Amino acid sequence: MPTPHQILLLLSLLAPLSATANGSIYGYLGDDGVERFSNVPDDPRYRLLLRDRLAPATAALRVPRGVFALPFAQRPFHQEIHAASRSSGVDAALLHAVISVESGYRERIVSPKGATGLMQLMPATARRYGLARPDDPAGNIRAGAHYLRDLLAMFDNNVELALAAYNAGENAVLRHGRRIPPYGETQRYVPLVLAHYDRLSDRSRPR
């Protein structure tokens, strides 16, 4: 089975998947000694190697449980998110939506690519926004909120493009003509965050 380095290589090779593709990665060692990998497990020999990181947030929209069943003002880290919203001008419900998809409110999570914390910041982004300790929830949220603020400014307050840039990097969005890049995860990520945002925004309105 592949090493962590091989899995990272696979992620880069399988990035331009269709929007409907399974985000999990499967693999098996063939009789010829060749390792085979796919996001479509169409052979019974395939075994799950890397789980789809968007699966929990997708499932939470269908059947909200636990933290995902709460209005955003009752969710973990709401005070820190509210403070980051005030300092950045980014809607608190949008920050909650990003955290819902990125980390599911798990503040110590680290992705295979090295993104850390509630907002899943890459090390270079954390440094750019002065975050010394990526595992600090308040600092992680604040840095992610200010990064998202700058992406919204860069893309004329187009939330879809800002989210695409948050997931794939601003250069990827610019390189593809200021459109959502044709990467499977990004094309799934943007509508998923927006669905959580719509749901949170609706639930936060007075009844």
User: Which DSSP symbol is given to 173?
Assistant: H
Cα separation of 183 and 153, whole Å? Answer: 23
Helix (H) or strand (E) holding 13: helix 4-13
Phi–psi pair at 110, nearest 5 degrees: -130, 125
Cα separation of 58 and 195, whole Å? Answer: 9
Handedness of CA 170, 174, 175, 178 (dihedral sign): positive
Q: Which of 35, 80, 102, 170 is catalytic?
A: 102
Cα separation of 20 and 40, whole Å? Answer: 11
Cα separation of 128 and 151, whole Å? Answer: 13
Q: Are 180 and 164 in contact (CB under 8 A)?
A: yes
Q: Are 163 and 194 in contact (CB under 8 A)?
A: yes
Q: Are 144 and 163 in contact (CB under 8 A)?
A: no
> Does residue 35 have an active-site annotation?
no
Active site positions, annotated: 102
